[in-house]
Amino acid sequence: MIFKIDNVKKSYKNGEVTEEILKGVNLILREGELTSLVGASGSGKSTLLTIAAGLQPASDGQITFEGKNLTSLNAEQVRKIRAHQFGFVFQFAHLVPFLTVEEQLLLMLDVSESKLKKREQKKEVDKILKLVEMDHRKHAYPSSLSGGEKQRVAIARAIIHKPKVLFADEPTASLDSKRSKDVMTLISNLTKTLNIATLIVTHDEEMLSFADHIIKMSDGQILRKV
Amino acid sequence: MNIAWKEMKKSKAKFMILGSIVFLVSLLTFMISGLANGLSQESAGLIKDLPAGQFYMTKEANQTYSMSRIDHSIQHQILSKQKDATAFSIQMGFLNDRDGKQQSVAFVTATKSKQFINVEKGEIVLDKSMEDNGIKIGDALTNNQFKGKFVVKGFVKHSKYSHASVAYISMEDFKEIYGTAEMQLIFVPEGSPEPTSSSMESFSNHQFLNTISSYKSEQMSLNMIIWFLVVISGMLFAIFFYMMNVQKIGLYGILKAIGVKTSSLFKIMWTQMVFITVIALSIAIFLSQIFTRVAPKGMPFSLTTETTVQLSIVFLIIGFIGATLSGLQIKSVQPLQAIQQGEV
Ligand SMILES: Nc1ncnc2c1ncn2[C@@H]1O[C@H](COP(=O)(O)OP(=O)(O)OP(=O)(O)O)[C@@H](O)[C@H]1O
Ligand SMILES: [Mg+2]
């Protein structure tokens, strides 16, 4: 067990009324395992994922990562953990428009305060780009990449600093079914080879074959574990 | 990695527009302040070029030097004690040249001293601009209140008062034209002991300039224009950076999500702001200095490097404040916002 979500609740104030979006969620992520989160739109999947990733605070409950309770850390401490230990892939690639593919990854190494020397960093970038089969577009800017290519670069950026946990929110939503499969195969392989604990939200039934665990959410609660 | 630089390289047009606005506003400010300085030189160059010291006029004059009549005995008392001190008078008047054309001048007369040009009876020394008007050494000029003739002995550079050329004449001739033997003012340069006399009021150079009401109001309006320009440029800075930041909210959110520090985002913005401002200011300084060299002769324009440097520093500070204020929104950007907004 590397990542544990304990009775996490989240409510938003909507004017006078308070809406409870997460009603006490429990979840465990393990190294080298891919956990898929499914459920109807609005059931709270993205909310759960972003809270787990430290992108927004929970209203109640505990999130334990390597023995530390994330909910009790301050913003700077959470940022550090995000930069060093977490990787993110979202529905859109969200690459930095004015950096080349190579520079996107170098930036991530920078942010995670990589101890590698400049030359070794470049080698590492080449290695990861080969892994996602994007090494031939190393010097391209995002505007000249296709949707699937961008997403593969985004995945490369999410793992280059060797995170312990990978969060992905519908990473295949903007891709066709062939590309979706490629991206899922990639994430699933990386989870195994780099021994990452991966949490992935998906709408696509086809993608569930890649999951070690499938967790279904409904109305802010976990329905069943498969 | 130098993100600031990479972004400027990729979006050259955007940063060039910002740079040219800074350039135009700062150039305009330099030009106006050159004009203001030039005008003030024409308005009171005679006084401004004097070394630091104290000016004395009678208390009765009520801070209007033209009303001041310093008693001979008091003048003698002060001048005999202070070797470097000088008594002088200024009056506006006219000179007629050979063709009978009238030229407005400021007649100045003074006791023997280092600060003012001293001339003999019947002689006159004029500001250089009169030479440009066609008057030559040896010419004889007349004045309606003066029976004799003034023979031009020479010219001096940059001696203007109240937008007229200064004409140095002897005390006797001054007395004949204006009918007063008493001097209006005594100037004591810094370092000499200051005389004390109950009937006299003393002024520093700056204070004295401000008793000349035409000078004061002229400078006030010009300075107002300059500060107005500075404020406008500050606002332009803030608005431009604000718009650029709004465009980049999504990007900032993503960078924050992957763990970039907020302070790094501010550093990016500051780097870009300083880079653009320094380049724009350098070009503006360069062009305004060229203009100082090639400005038409009659144009009252004088831009010292000191003023330019001062204004440049003000621009840098204002740019910094403008960029930082507009950048405060970076602080409040939530990583989530960007992720939920879709593609940047
Ligand atoms: N910032 C917010 N303020 C108020 N309500 C919010 C906020 N963010 C999400 N919600 C609400 O929380 C609920 C769950 O949203 P969430 O995005 O987690 O759903 P989801 O399961 O990811 O849906 P989808 O499959 O459509 O992405 C929704 O009803 C949404 O309207
Ligand atoms: Mg969602």
Tally the domains of chain A. Answer: 1
Least confident range from A35-39, B119-123, B239-243, B312-316: namely B239-243
**Token pair in block for residue B202:** 């003393």
Q: In this structure, are residues B32 and B152 in contact, taking their beta carbons and an 8 Å threshold?
A: no
Instruction: Decide if B13 touches A, using CB distance below 8 A.
Output: no
pLDDT of residue B341: 62
| Contact residues on chain A for B339, CB-CB shorter than 8 A | 50, 55, 90, 94, 169
Strands A213-218 and A60-65: unpaired
Tell me which chain A residue has its CA closest to the CA of residue B8.
A98
Looking at residue B2, its pLDDT comes to 86
Closest-CA residue of A relative to B339 is A90
Q: How far is the CA of A220 from the centre of ligand 1 (A)?
A: 10
* pLDDT at residue B77, as a whole number: 87
B9 touches chain A (CB under 8 A): yes
Q: What is the pLDDT of residues B199-246, one digit of tens each?
A: 889 999 999 999 988 898 888 888 898 888 888 877 887 788 888 888
Q: For the purposes of burial, counting CB atoms within 10 Å of the CB of B52, is it exposed (0-12), middle (13-18) or buried (19 or more)?
A: exposed
Q: CB-based burial of residue B125 (10 Å sphere; 0-12 exposed, 13-18 middle, 19+ buried)? A: buried
**Is A121 touching B (CB cutoff 8 A)?**
no
Query: Is the Cβ pair B254, A94 closer than 8 Å?
Result: yes
d(CA B318, CA B20): 16
> Where in the sequence is the domain holding A43, given as residue range(s)?
3-225
Distance A194 CA to ligand 1 centre (A): 31
Of A129-133, A165-169, B19-23, B45-49, which has the strongest mean pLDDT? A165-169
For residue A60, the model assigns a pLDDT of: 93
CATH number of domain containing A179: 3.40.50.300
A133 in B contact zone (CB under 8 Å): no
For the ranges A135-144, B101-110, B252-261, B327-336, the lowest mean pLDDT is seen at: B327-336
Is residue A49 within 8 Å of A198, Cβ to Cβ? no
C-alpha distance from B323 to closest chain A C-alpha (Å):
21
Edge-to-edge strands, sheet with A68-69: A17-29, A3-14, A60-65, A68-69
Q: Name every chain B residue with its beta carbon within 8 A of the beta carbon of A83.
A: 258-260
Average pLDDT of the segment spanning A181-205: 90
What is the reported pTM? 0.79
Max intra-chain CA distance, chain A: 57
Q: What is the pLDDT of residue B343?
A: 52
Please state the rounded mean pLDDT for residues B27-39: 90
Cα(A218) to ligand 2 centroid in Å equals 13
Task: Say which ligand is closest to the CA of B334.
Answer: 1
Determine whether the interchain pair A111/B260 forms a contact, defined as Cβ–Cβ distance below 8 Å: yes
Q: Decide if B332 touches A, using CB distance below 8 A.
A: no
Q: Which of A10, A96, A153, A155 best probes binding to B when mutated, by most B CB atoms within 10 angstroms?
A: A96
pLDDT exceeds 60 at position B253: yes
**Residue ranges of A 73-112 with Cβ closer than 8 A to chain B:** 79-80, 82-84, 86, 88, 90-94, 96-99, 103, 106-108, 110-112
Best residue for ligand 1 mutational test, from A47, A49, A91, A202 (most atoms within 8 Å of Cβ): A47
C-beta of residue A208 within 8 angstroms of C-beta of residue A35 = no
Please report, in angstroms and rounded to a whole number, the separation of the first and last CA atoms in chain B.
Answer: 21
Give the pLDDT score at B68: 92
